Structure 1
Amino acid sequence: MREIKNVSCTLNTLLDDTVVVIDSQKKDVNRVLNHHLPLDQYEILSKYVKKIGVTQRFSDVIQTFKTPENETPEGFRVAYELAANGILKADLIRDISYDKNGKKRPTNLLFSADSANPYEIKPISKMIANLTCNPGIIYDLFINNPQANIGNQYKTRDEVMEEIGRILGPGADISVELNDPFGKSDTEILEEAEKFKEMLSEYRVVIKVPHTGPVTNENVSQLLSGDKKLNKSFSEVTTEGAFRGHNLALMLEEHGFRVNFTLMFEPYQTALALQAKPYFVNSFIRHRLIQSQLMDQSLKQYQATGNPQFIEKIRDMFIEKDYLKVDQKKMDLLAVKKMAEDILQYHHFNDAEGSDGLDSVRHNLRLFKNTNLDDSRLIICSMEGDFNYPDIDKLLVEKEFEDLVHRVVITAEPNYLARFTSCNQVVSYQRRFMNAANGQK
C-alpha cells in the first residue's frame, strides 16, 4: 500500500452502518477510538471488520489501574487482533516505552531509579520507566535509616513496596529482588514471587534474580560471619552452583514472570545470562572502572619508581575485592603485576574502547544486536562521579549504537540522575534573570 501524506485515520474511521462497537464494551472501546490508525492498516481492516471490541486483558488492565474514562494507562502499547467473525479487538500490551493513550515516551532511551525511599522517588516518578530495589536498598538505606525513614513511618518491606507502587502508578516496572536465592526451595521462591505479583500486579512486577557464582547454600554462611570472606576463588565454581541464578531465572520466566537478571560485571557474563531469557540484564560499571583506575595508577607508579609497595597495593585490592582468596595474600608480586596487566588489557583500559570504563557496555550492546529476545533490555547501572553518566550519554549517540538505544535503560540513585539536569550556567543565568525580575541591575 502507498501511504498518502497528510491523511489521518483513527479507529473511529472504521465505523459506519455495517461496522459497530460491541454494546457491552463501548466504554472501553471509546478509550481507543481516536487513536491513530495508519492508512494502509485502515484499508485492509475496512474489508474485514464488522464489530469492534476489546480483549479480556484490555478490560483487566483498565480495572487494575482504575484508569480514567477515555484514557489508556501509561506503560502499555495499544495493539489489535482480528478475531473470528470480523471482530477487531483492541489489546493492551505491557511496554514501558509508552506513555498514556498509546503515545511513545519522549525518548527511546529509558531511565530507572535505584531506591526504596518514597520521599525521593516521588519527584522522579514521572521520569522513570522502572524502579529497582533490593534488600540492601530497602532495609539499610531506608527502613533502618532514621534520616531517610522519617519518624519510623515505614516498618516493613511490604509497607514500603505498596507505597512505591502507589507513587509510581502503572507506567513503571518495579524490580523486586529475591530475599534469599540460596536457602529457599523453588516452591518457596515462586510463592515469594506470587506475593509480589499480588501486591504490584502482574503487569508491573519484575523479579530480580542475582547471579550466584561460587556462592551456594552450603557456603553462603561464610559471607555472614568472621571475616565474611569466601574460602574459594570467584572462579572455583560448581556447574550447578554457578548456574543456580540462571535456572531460577528460567523457572520464573516459565511461570510467567519477567526477570531482572543482575550482577553482570564482566561482559563475558552476558551471553550466558541471556540464555536465561531475562527481561532485563544488567551491566555494572562503577566498581570495575574504579578498580581499573587503581591498577593502572599503581602500575605506572611502580614503573616510575620501582617501589614494590605499589604492587602490594594492587594485591591488597585483589584480596579486598575478591579477585584473590585470603590465603593468597602473599602471592608473588610479579604474578600480581602480570595479573593486573592482563585485566587492564581485557578491560581495554588504555585504548578508546575502554578508557572511559565502558568497554563492557559496548560489548553488551553488540551482543544485543544478535539476540533473539526482542523484549529484553540492557540496564546500565552502578554509576558515580562526574563522568560516568556523561560518558554513557555520549556513547549512546555513537553511530554504531543508534539502533539499540530503545533497548537501553539507565539506572542510578535519584540524586545521581538529578545532578545531570544542571550545570554551572544554570546558576549564572538564574542570577541574571532573578535580579532582573526584582528590578536590580
Structure 2
Amino acid sequence: MGVAIRLSIESVLNESSGVVILPEDKGFVDAVLGQAITPAEYRLLSEAARRITVTDHFRDVVRDFDCPEGRTPAGFRIEGRLERDGQLVFDLIRDIGYEENGRRRATPLIFSADSANPYEITAIKEMIGNLTCNPGIIYDLFLNNPKANVGGKFATREEVMAEIGRVLGPGCDISVEINDPFETNIDRVLEEIAPFEQTLNRHRLVVKIPHTGPVNRENVGKLLSGDGRLDRRYDQGDTDDYLHGHKLALELQKLGYRTNFTLMFEPHQAPLALQARPAFINAFVRHRLIASQRFSRDLAAFDASGDETILLRLKEFMIANDYLSGSDQDVPLTRVAGIARTFLKHRRFDSAEGADGLDNARAGLRWLKTSNLPETRLIICSMEGDDNMPDILSMLSEDEFREMQGRVVITSEPNYIARFSSSPQVVAYQRRFMKAAQSASQAGAAR
C-alpha cells in the first residue's frame, strides 16, 4: 500500500527550486501556501516557477475586508497562473461556494435567505451564502413593520443593508433590487447603486434586475392605482418593454457588476435571460404551482360537467393573477379554457416533470449546463408548504441534476428553511434523552 503524500504550494519553497517571495509580498502569499497541488503541478512549478506573488486585486480584497495577515476572506476561491517570466501569480475570484482561505463549503448546494431583517438572519447567518431582497421585503416586511423593525431603529434602506452586511460578513452575496426598474438613464441607475457599492463593496454586491414584461414607464402607474390591473395581457407587450430588463442587466454586466435576473416563472424565460450574462437566474415555485393546480382542477370539473360557471370563476382567478388583463372581462370562456390548457401543457403538469411545479427549475438547470456561463447559478425561490423543499432536494439528488448542485441556491424565509432541519422523531428522542438525564440528576441528588 502506498503512502498518500499531500503537496501544497509551500512544498515548492525549497532550496533547490530557487522560488522566492519578496518581503512586501509575504503577508499576502502566506495565505496561499497551504493550497493543495498535484504531483504533476509540483514538478512543473519546481522547474518553472521563480517567484510567488499576488495580484493587486488580491491585495484589495484582503484590505477591503480587513483580513488578518496570512488569511483570505470567505466568499472567494484562490486561483493561480504561471506566467512566462516564471511568476506564479495568485488572485481571488468571487465565489460563494468557498469559505475562508479558499476552503470549499460543506456542500456544493448553497442556501440563501429572503429577508431584510437583521435580527431574523442572525440565527441563520452561518448556514447561508447569499441573501436576496426586493422592495417588498425591505419596506413592507421590515422597515415599515413595527414588529420587525423594533423601536424603529432603522430608518432607511441603506441603514438596513449596512447592518445586514455587518451581520453576514464577506462570505455572503447580497442582492439588492433597484426601486425603479424602468429607468432608462444608466447614470441614474448607477446613482441608486452607489450607496450599496460603498456599503457592501462591489465584491459581494449583486444588483437585482427584474423581468419587466409588458410593463413600462408609461403604464406602470396603472399598477399603483384603481384595481391595479394592467390594460394589456402579459403577452401583449412591445419588444422594447419585454427586453428592457435584459438590456439593463447586460449594460450593468458590461460595467463590471454582477446581476441577479429575477421574476422567472416559465421554462422559456431561461435561455433569453442568460443572454444578459447574469450571475444568477431564478426559478419561482409557489404561485405558479398553485395556479397550475387550480387550472387542472377546474378544467377537469368543466370537462366532466360542462358547467360554464366553473370557467367564469376560473376567469376571475386568471384576471386576479394576471393571466388575463383588466380589459379581458369579456374574453370568451373558450379562450379562458384554452389559455389555461396551454399553461398546463407548457408546464408539463400531467407528467412527473411538472407535477411538482419544478419544471421551471429543471429547465433552468439544463440551460445552465449547456451555457457558456460557468459561474452563473440558479436560485430556486418562492416556496411554502410541506412539499416544496423536499421535492427540490429530491430533484437535486437525481442522476441528471446531481452534478449541478454547485450551481443551485435555495432561498426562502429563514424560518421555512430552518424547519426542514427538524422531524417528529427529534421531539420523541429528546423526550427520552431528557427523561434519562433528569433521572440521573435526581439519583445523584439523592446520594
TM interval, shorter chain, is: over 0.9
What is the identity, as a one-letter code, of the residue corresponding to 2:422? S
Q: Displacement of 1:184 after TM fit?
A: 5.2
Q: Is the 8 A contact 1:7 1:39 kept in 2?
A: no
CA deviations on 1:257-288 (whole Å, 9 max, x unpaired) are 00100111111111111111111011111111
Partner of 2:445: none
Partner of 2:138: 138
**1 CA distance for matches of 2:432 and 2:71?**
42
Identify the range of structure 1 (164-173 vs 72-81) with the bigger mean alpha-carbon deviation. Answer: 72-81
Task: Give 3-state SS (helix, strand or coil) of 1:230's partner.
Answer: coil
Structure 2 gaps, min length 5: 443-447
Percent same amino acid at aligned positions? 50
Q: Displacement of 1:91 after TM fit?
A: 1.6
Task: Give 3-state SS (helix, strand or coil) of 2:72's partner.
Answer: coil
Q: Superposition pairs for residues 11-410 of structure 1, below 5 Å?
A: 11-17=9-15, 18-83=18-83, 85-183=85-183, 185-410=185-410
CA deviations on 1:183-218 (whole Å, 9 max, x unpaired) are 451111122223321111111001000111111111
Q: Displacement of 1:84 after TM fit?
A: 5.0
**2 CA distance for matches of 1:31 and 1:350?**
54
Q: How many residues are matched?
A: 438
Task: Give 3-state SS (helix, strand or coil) of 2:370's partner.
Answer: coil
**2 CA distance for matches of 1:217 and 1:5?**
68
Q: Is the 8 A contact 1:299 1:337 kept in 2?
A: yes
Task: Give 3-state SS (helix, strand or coil) of 2:7's partner.
Answer: coil
Partner of 2:413: 413
Structure 1 gaps, min length 5: none
Q: Displacement of 1:242 after TM fit?
A: 1.1
Task: Give 3-state SS (helix, strand or coil) of 1:326's partner.
Answer: coil
Q: Displacement of 1:59 after TM fit?
A: 1.2
**2 CA distance for matches of 1:362 and 1:11?**
40
**2 CA distance for matches of 1:250 and 1:334?**
40
**1 CA distance for matches of 2:234 and 2:379?**
23
Please tell me the root mean square deviation across aligned C-alpha atoms, in Å. Answer: 1.6
**Structure 1 residue ranges, 4+ long, deviating more than 4 angstroms after superposition:** none
Identify the range of structure 1 (319-328 vs 154-163) with the bigger mean alpha-carbon deviation. Answer: 319-328
What is the identity, as a one-letter code, of the residue corresponding to 2:7? C
Q: Displacement of 1:305 after TM fit?
A: 4.0
Q: Displacement of 1:309 after TM fit?
A: 2.5
Q: Displacement of 1:340 after TM fit?
A: 1.8
Identify the range of structure 1 (179-188 vs 137-146) with the bigger mean alpha-carbon deviation. Answer: 179-188
Q: Displacement of 1:122 after TM fit?
A: 0.9
**1 CA distance for matches of 2:181 and 2:91?**
35
What is the identity, as a one-letter code, of the residue corresponding to 1:89? V
Q: Is the 8 A contact 1:111 1:128 kept in 2?
A: yes
CA deviations on 1:66-106 (whole Å, 9 max, x unpaired) are 11233221111111122353222222111111111111111
Distance 1:344 1:439, change over 3 A: same
2:439 pairs with 1:439: yes
**2 CA distance for matches of 1:57 and 1:5?**
38
Q: Is the 8 A contact 1:396 1:405 kept in 2?
A: yes
What is the identity, as a one-letter code, of the residue corresponding to 1:153? K
TM-score, length-scaled by structure 1: 0.96
Partner of 1:8: 6
Q: Is the 8 A contact 1:79 1:93 kept in 2?
A: yes
Identify the range of structure 1 (186-195 vs 252-261) with the bigger mean alpha-carbon deviation. Answer: 186-195
What is the identity, as a one-letter code, of the residue corresponding to 2:248? L
**2 CA distance for matches of 1:229 and 1:44?**
66
